[in-house]
């Protein structure tokens, strides 16, 4: 959000004397310098090195609208001269930390911002028609205790900037602390060596997944001749470690905690030959310590946590075609196993869900599916907590925990293509436990109850024709919102985010019957968090959560096409409750 302020309307925004008085008298000299600039100054933007953050809440400067933590004295001071009505002032900051900004204008008004600048979490303030005089600038950090990160303050008459030439970063040209050379298939896997860990250089600038601090120079250089194996690089220490690896092609790969127990690791599914530069970091800035660096083609630290979809399934296999009987197909299996699923699928394509639990190395069961274009329901039933991992014909993984209810897992693959599905039934412990596996075209569990909504069914609360020319809107209908079906599994084919719980049948059907298309809205009013799913006259779907007042749902139809609108009033949680569905002209209230 851009923070644009015109000084001509700021008279009422001048801070109360009591607020400004909390900055001690005499503590007004800027900590990181000052500059005098005239309107139309050259070399725009002017960029200055500052340190952000502090211990004082920024609201003590300019009130509740000022976020973050700052020092008592200003970070920087700008004296602006020859102001006119040609240029605006753009004040912005760029940092690897989440920064904020507060500015005191020559008139004594306070301007504050968080995240309105260029890129990421950088602040920016635009002063339209600026006055002559001194602008005192505080650059803060959103959270306390972040130190004083290197930050670039930009002063411009053109635009905000996210450049930060002052941040310290790693040096790939520096000599590595240690070096090793390996070729694919090397013996004594893992190859382990002690390296330096931690430092004062932020890894954040290397990429969005890069966190922590390390030394400027690489901890290790690995010269690797690749073959047909994966390459696992990880560190192990008593500290919360992070890792950054520059691959031979110059790309960056980072991790925090991926190798478990606060140890980081990255995996290269198809490693290239060449030099891998490795920085062993710590989550917090610290004095350099040591860690064990592990290089492996088996798994992190040489532990084999892989699955083998080509292995013979442990509990059998079946070939099924569209319309198979009996429905569901069932098989008895054992859940659990020695392999940690999260580590096993590191580097794999996850299509849906979070992949956790313990599984066997070979598939629990294998399905060869001869259908095409129909949904597949795969679920479990057990007295223990089960999880499901399914490798589809395209190689993507589908994972689930608890979707089938009562700690049973369930996966729905819409338009399931023909091919082989390798099914892993897991548990949250290595020990195995008996479970039933169900495969169906209609629903989860032994009953294969359909989990899909059926808009052709009779609506629970009636069908109504509304012609805005004859009926005075708004129209209100009491309904019971919620139901047994999870909205995201109910077959609402839309790019909208469908959440909550609904019934199989519509809550009500609205026959919108204006003489010509007319914009209208459908929204809910309830004491609990409600959701909406609506099938439009053309058969398409729309979904919403919280699109109206508070936690009520609302959908607006600008074109207002006449026809049947099948309305599902849902609840965000599984407990049903009373709600009102309201049909009104215009847009949903916010």
Residue 472: which H helix or E strand, with range?
A: none
Q: Domain 463-585 falls in which CATH fold?
A: Jelly Rolls (2.60.120)
306: Cβ contacts below 8 Å, ≥ 6 apart: 298, 299, 339, 344, 361
- Residue 142 sits at the vertex; the CA angle it makes with 141 and 146, to the nearest 5 degrees, is 55
Domain 3-156, CATH among 3.40.309.10, 2.60.120.380, 3.30.365.10, 3.40.1550.20: 2.60.120.380
Q: What is the pLDDT of residues 119-161, one digit of tens each?
A: 878 999 999 999 999 999 999 999 886 667 789 999 999 999 9
Radius of gyration for the alpha carbons in the chain, expressed in angstroms and rounded: 30
Handedness of CA 343, 344, 348, 349 (dihedral sign): negative
> CATH number of the domain at 178-302, please?
2.60.120.380
Domain 3-156 identical in fold to domain 178-302? yes
Encode the chain (590 residues) as per-residue pLDDT tens digits.
Answer: 445 544 433 333 434 333 343 343 344 689 999 999 999 999 999 999 999 999 999 999 988 889 999 999 999 999 999 998 889 999 999 998 899 999 999 999 999 999 999 987 899 999 999 999 999 999 999 988 666 778 999 999 999 999 998 878 899 999 999 999 999 999 999 999 999 999 989 898 888 789 999 999 999 999 999 999 999 999 999 999 999 999 999 999 999 988 888 999 999 989 999 999 999 999 988 888 999 999 999 999 998 888 999 999 999 999 999 999 999 999 999 999 999 999 899 889 999 999 999 999 999 999 999 987 788 999 999 999 999 999 999 999 999 998 888 899 999 998 899 999 999 999 998 899 999 999 999 889 998 877 889 999 999 999 999 999 999 999 999 999 999 888 988 889 888 989 999 999 999 999 999 999 999 999 999 999 999 999 999 999 999 999 999 999 999 999 999 999 999 999 999 899 999 999 999 999 98
CATH 2.40.50.140 applies to domain 317-448: no
Cβ-count burial 269-286 (b if 16+ within 10 Å, e if not): eebeeebbbbbbbbbebb
For residue 274, what are its two tokens?
A: 């060449």
371: Cβ contacts below 8 Å, ≥ 6 apart: 320, 321, 322, 416, 418, 441
CB 63 within 8 A of CB 175: no
**Domain segments of the chain: what residues?**
3-156, 178-302, 317-448, 463-585
């Amino acid at each position: 959000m851009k923070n644009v302020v015109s000084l001509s309307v700021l008279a009422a925004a001048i801070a109360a004397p009591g607020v400004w008085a909390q900055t001690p008298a005499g503590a007004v000299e800027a900590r990181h310098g000052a500059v005098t600039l005239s309107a139309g100054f050259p070399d725009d933007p002017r960029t200055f090195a500052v340190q952000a953050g502090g211990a004082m809440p920024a609201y003590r400067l300019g009130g509740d609208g000022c976020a973050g933590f700052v020092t008592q004295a200003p970070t920087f001071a700008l004296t602006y001269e020859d102001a006119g009505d040609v240029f605006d002032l753009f004040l912005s900051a760029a940092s690897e930390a989440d920064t904020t900004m507060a500015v005191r204008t020559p008139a004594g008004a306070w301007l504050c911002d968080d995240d309105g600048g260029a890129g990421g979490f950088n602040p920016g303030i635009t002063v339209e028609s600026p006055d002559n005089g001194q602008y005192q600038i505080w650059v803060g950090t959103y959270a306390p205790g972040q130190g004083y990160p290197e930050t670039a303050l930009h002063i411009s008459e053109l635009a905000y900037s996210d450049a930060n030439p002052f941040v310290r970063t790693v040096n790939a040209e520096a000599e590595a602390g240690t070096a090793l050379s390996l070729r694919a298939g090397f013996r004594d896997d893992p190859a382990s060596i002690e390296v330096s860990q931690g430092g004062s250089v932020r890894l954040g600038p290397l990429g969005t997944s890069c966190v922590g601090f390390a030394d400027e120079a690489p901890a290790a250089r690995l010269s690797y001749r690749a073959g047909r194996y994966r390459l696992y690089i990880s560190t192990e220490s008593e500290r919360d470690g992070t890792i950054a690896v520059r691959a031979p092609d110059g790309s960056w790969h980072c991790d925090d905690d991926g190798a478990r127990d606060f140890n980081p690791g990255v995996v290269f599914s198809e490693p290239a030959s060449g030099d891998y530069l490795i920085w062993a970091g710590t989550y917090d800035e610290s004095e350099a310590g040591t860690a064990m660096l592990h290089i492996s083609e088996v798994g992190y630290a040489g532990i084999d946590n892989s699955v083998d979809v080509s292995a013979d399934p442990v509990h059998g296999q079946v070939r099924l075609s569209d319309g198979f009987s009996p429905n569901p197909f069932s098989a008895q299996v054992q859940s659990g196993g020695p392999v940690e699923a999260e580590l096993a699928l590191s580097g794999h394509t996850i299509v849906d869900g979070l992949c956790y639990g313990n599984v066997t190395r070979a598939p629990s069961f294998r399905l060869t599916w001869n259908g095409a274009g129909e949904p597949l329901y795969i679920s479990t039933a057990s007295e223990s907590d089960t999880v499901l991992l399914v490798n589809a014909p395209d190689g993507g993984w589908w994972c689930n925990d608890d979707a089938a209810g009562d700690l049973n897992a369930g996966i729905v693959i819409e338009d399931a293509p023909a091919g082989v599905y390798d099914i892993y039934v897991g548990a949250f412990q290595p020990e195995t436990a008996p479970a039933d596996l169900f495969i169906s075209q209609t629903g989860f569990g032994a009953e294969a109850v359909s989990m899909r909504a059926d808009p052709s069914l009779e609506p629970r609360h009636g069908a109504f024709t509304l012609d805005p020319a004859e009926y005075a809107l708004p129209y209100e209908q009491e309904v019971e919102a919620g139901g047994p079906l999870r909205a995201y599994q109910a077959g609402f084919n839309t790019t909208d985010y469908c959440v909550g719980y609904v019934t199989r049948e519509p809550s009500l059907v609205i026959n919108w019957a204006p003489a010509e298309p007319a914009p209208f809205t459908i929204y809910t009013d309830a004491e609990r968090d409600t959701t909406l799913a609506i099938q439009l006259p053309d058969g398409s779907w729309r979904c919403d959560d919280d699109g109206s007042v508070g936690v009520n749902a609302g959908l607006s139809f600008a074109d207002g096409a006449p026809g049947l609108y099948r309305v599902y009033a849902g609840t965000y949680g599984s407990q049903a409750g009373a709600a009102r569905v309201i049909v009104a002209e215009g847009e949903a209230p916010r």
